[in-house]
């Protein structure tokens, strides 16, 4: 655990393993019989292996990588939804995680009721939510939909509401998984500006995105994952995005000398502690 007062998130050699195979689809009796006869199989799948990075107040980390790289799994570990199989995670402060936008909402409740429900799940009092409610609804541009059932909203509306709640409750760490990619261009522009204002006030962000344009504009640090492996973690965002774009074209991971070296330096320093 880092002693620095500015570090709010430290991820050191974190690995996350899934167990797959026959055991998930059979009952206890069948499992015992198969185990006695040796007629069963399980497989290990490592979604993330030895991931290391540190973030300070006001950092916005862009996490990039193709589908299956381990991005969302890593965010679930940081947010406490999953427990790492190995390694250490240190998190300081309250987290607001927008990973699966439909989670935490009730389709049979109204937009207004769901706003208070999500706020309660994030640990905020009813009085606090009453104070912020009008701002949240106005920001999400849902004034005319307050009494509509949540299931009647479009995916973009749901995204706007989830983002607005997370931003207005002012967490210490804000985790976003492709949230800014949902909605129209005007909302994306507004949400990007909001993120900049939030970070300027010392909130730390983790942002998974396939939009390198957004990563280039908003992030001051970047983590590149590929099939669960850490390619690099660096503050040289533009160079890393260039290397990633080249990778998407050539399908060839860069050699060590072709990418920012910050990751190797960080891992070496971490191993020595």
Give the Cα separation of 180 and 144 in Å (integer).
Answer: 22
Q: Which of 267, 248, 161, 168 minimizes the C-alpha distance to 210?
A: 248
Where do the DSSP E strands lie in 57-191? 60-64, 86-91, 95-98, 173-177
Element (H, E) at 8: strand 7-21
Q: Over 90: is that where the pLDDT of 97 sits? A: no
pLDDT tens digits for 126-174? 999 999 999 999 999 999 999 999 999 988 888 888 888 877 777 889 8
Architecture of the structural domain at 58-86+94-260 = 3-Layer(aba) Sandwich (3.40)
pLDDT digits (tens, 9 = 90+) for 56-94: 998 999 999 999 899 989 999 998 888 999 999 999 988
- CB 15, CB 48: distance < 8 Å: yes
The number of angstroms, rounded, from the C-alpha of 19 to the middle of its chain's C-alpha atoms is: 22
Return the minimum-mean-pLDDT range out of 28-32, 123-127, 264-268.
264-268
d(CA 212, CA 253): 17
């Amino acid at each position: 655990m880092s002693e620095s007062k500015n570090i709010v998130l430290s991820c050191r050699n974190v690995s996350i393993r899934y167990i797959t195979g026959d055991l998930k689809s059979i009952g206890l009796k069948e499992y015992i019989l198969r185990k006695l006869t040796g007629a069963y199989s399980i497989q290990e799948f490592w979604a993330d292996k030895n991931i290391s990075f540190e973030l300070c107040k006001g950092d916005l980390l862009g996490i990039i990588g193709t589908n299956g790289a381990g991005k969302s799994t890593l965010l679930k570990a940081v947010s406490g939804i999953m427990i790492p199989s190995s390694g250490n995670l240190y998190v300081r402060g309250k987290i607001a995680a927008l990973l699966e936008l439909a989670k935490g909402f009730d389709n049979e409740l109204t937009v207004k009721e769901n706003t208070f429900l999500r706020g309660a799940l994030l640990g905020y009092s009813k009085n606090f939510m009453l104070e912020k409610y009008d701002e949240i609804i106005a920001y999400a541009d849902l004034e005319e939909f307050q009494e509509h059932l949540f299931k009647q909203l479009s995916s973009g509306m749901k995204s706007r509401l989830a983002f607005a709640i997370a931003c207005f409750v002012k967490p210490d760490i804000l985790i976003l998984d492709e949230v800014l990619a949902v909605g129209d261009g005007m909302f994306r522009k507004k949400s990007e500006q909001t993120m900049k204002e939030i970070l300027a006030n010392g909130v730390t962000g983790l942002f998974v995105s396939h939009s390198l344009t957004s990563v280039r504009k908003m992030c001051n640090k970047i983590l590149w994952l590929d099939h669960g492996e850490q390619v690099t973690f660096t503050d040289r965002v533009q160079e890393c995005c260039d290397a990633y774009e080249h990778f998407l074209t050539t399908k060839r991971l860069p050699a060590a000398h072709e990418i920012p070296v910050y990751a190797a330096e960080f891992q070496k320093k971490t191993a020595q502690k």
